[in-house]
Chains A and B, each alone.
Chain A
């Protein structure tokens, strides 16, 4: 069943939803990356909640004008308008009052959402029967999605991606170093506003599929997922689009494969699965890689300390050190060095003495800066330089360099 869904074999509506969700995911993922890089991820939450009064008012106005009240285009226009007002309120509060942005977000988000819920309740008491479906904007609803709806989403997504392509350089510059951007004459406030405008567009387009409460997940999760895999901002944007699109596609397919699986939440959960897998498994920034790196480093430290202790005839108390030495065949269970252990220990001690010379001599300043107790001296100095140091040290010859 899921295979059918993934191959778009579940019928017209499911196919429309899958295409729409994929496009939305791509647009949301790449837009959200800039928000994430600018460290303003939660602004999207304020924007999305601020759409609700617009949905209610648009419905009321359309009904009052004698229309159906459920035209997606009309509702989207209304939600964009009220989200825009919410965004302006947020900007004004952060700029002209002493309120920090997080507090301003909390205020705007809750007040606009409250107004929206009041309007929806009022609508319910007005003309019974006609209001059906407005609540679906909270969590999204893909049942009965029309071709026109999919076309609106596709068009909106394409527009968003085009604007991102055009603005990627200033948006990256502003996210990384806003003061430098300002010094170069980049209109930072306007770029910020454009960034938020893109977020607003994605939110409005995504209302139908994932709803206003969960759209923030689609904006942010792909970006943080992508960050695990690369250290380049342009690639974070591309990967986030990919992860977002994948989440949208797979999520829509899964929800179509069985009855009563809500599309929006399933998409978010698929996005989370990608995030969790990246968090654990990504090379470099992943948790597993970090743990392995730490263990490997700890082993190196213990081995080195153990060798130096052996060389100086000191007893080894730490069990881990002893175990590591034993496993490497450098010491016996009672802590006495093996033949090979003695040779390695003598070399370790000799290297320490060599390092002492290096660190005391200004001529080796650059090399000395690399000393950290673990670094092999051969990776820093040439054979000739080591020979010169050995000549200064005197003592036993023939220790393998």
Chain B
């Protein structure tokens, strides 16, 4: 257990950070064209906890996640996963992309999508065994979708689609889960189901990082926040970093003062 200094907005807090943070990002800059979407960002994710990435639209939340996963190439900076380069640790990361990123009319069933999570184990020519199917079904049951296994994915509601994506990630049996807006546009039942699964992942000692939109539920759902608007604004446990000032700095004029006050009161 090494001691590392994590600094947030002026205050330097000496907090123990495990030597092998599940996800450590240093000086990351990503740019589409000439305008950086993420500029010189440091991030240290704490193991076995849940962290929310928060910021306004276009603040670079998804980009940060995609750069951490090697989906977009950074201009500069390093990403380390459990203390080693990303390429060596692919098997330990599971990614849940935004629901809108795929075509749901694609000819595939729910169970087939979950089986994609077992891609690495199956290999190129390996046969699908009963044990594989059983595991995929188990993951579906975990998100409450067991009876939908044989449905075409286009017949699902938005919330159900999101749960299928989560089940696919569960099938990977990873140590670090990265989710891009898992609660965006889903029904209340789905939100409940997803947060229950994420908390059970945490209980198993796994690490969860999610891009999150709903400021009202941050305190209830997450242990840590990472506030970003192109650059990092604040990072740390909810109680310390999720403050009215930090939110004002993140959202600027876009967050009404009344909203900030309300949140600040809720935080007390």
Contacts and interface: CB of A to CB of B under 8 A. Distances in A.
Contact of A233 (B70, B102, B108, B178): B108
B109 A232 contact: yes
A176 B109 contact: no
Interface in A257-284: none
Interface stretch (B2-10, B115-123, B130-138, B229-237): B115-123
Interface stretch (B93-101, B197-205, B217-225): B93-101
Contacts of B154: 231
B87 A232 contact: no
A92 B51 CA distance: 39
A37 B106 CA distance: 7
Nearest to B120: A184
Contact of B106 (A176, A186, A365): A176
Contacts of B178: 183
Interface string B64-100: 0010011100000000000000010010010101000
A165 B97 CA distance: 28
B112 A183 contact: no
A308 to B, nearest CB: 27
Interface residues of B, number: 30
B107 interface: yes
B93 A183 contact: yes
A310 B120 CA distance: 62
B258 interface: no
B248 interface: no
Contacts of A227: 107
Contacts of B93: 183
Nearest to A175: B106
Contacts of B102: 176-177
Interface string B137-155: 0000000000000001010
Interface string A168-193: 01101101110110111110000000
B66 A233 contact: no
A232 B125 CA distance: 19
Interface residues of A, number: 29
Contacts of A87: none
B124 interface: yes
- The dominant DSSP class at the B interface is mixed
Given A169-B124, A176-B106, A232-B107, A184 B119 contact: yes
A175 B103 CA distance: 10
Given A182-B70, A185-B90, A233-B108, A177 B101 contact: yes
Contacts of A148: none
Given A166-B125, A183-B69, A184-B90, A233 B116 contact: no
Contacts of B122: 169
Which of A182, A183, A186, A235 has most B Cβ within 10 Å? A183
Contacts of A39: 103
B90 A232 contact: no
B189 interface: yes
A182 B69 contact: yes
B124 A170 contact: yes
A230 B189 contact: no
Contacts of B168: 180
A366 interface: yes
Given A177-B102, A179-B101, A183-B71, A167 B107 contact: no
B191 to A, nearest CB: 13
Interface string A191-230: 0000000000000000000000000000000000001001
Given A182-B69, A183-B69, A176 B124 contact: no
A39 B87 CA distance: 29
B70 A183 contact: yes
Contacts of B119: 169-170, 173, 184, 186
A57 interface: no
A193 B93 CA distance: 26
A176 B119 CA distance: 13
A166 B101 CA distance: 26
Given A179-B66, A185-B87, A230 B107 contact: yes
Interface in A140-185: 165-167, 169-170, 172-173, 175-177, 179-180, 182-185
Contacts of B187: 369
A247 interface: no
Contacts of B95: 179-180, 183-184
B197 to A, nearest CB: 18
Contacts of B120: 184
Contact of A180 (B97, B107, B124): B97
A316 B119 CA distance: 59
A165 B168 CA distance: 23
Contacts of A365: 189
A166 B125 CA distance: 6
A365 to B, nearest CB: 8
Contacts of B112: 232-233
Contact of B97 (A170, A173, A177): A177
6 contacts: A37-B106, A169-B122, A170-B119, A176-B106, A183-B93, A184-B120
Interface of B: 66, 69-71, 87, 90, 93, 95, 97, 101-103, 106-109, 112-113, 116, 119-120, 122, 124-125, 152, 154, 168, 178, 187, 189
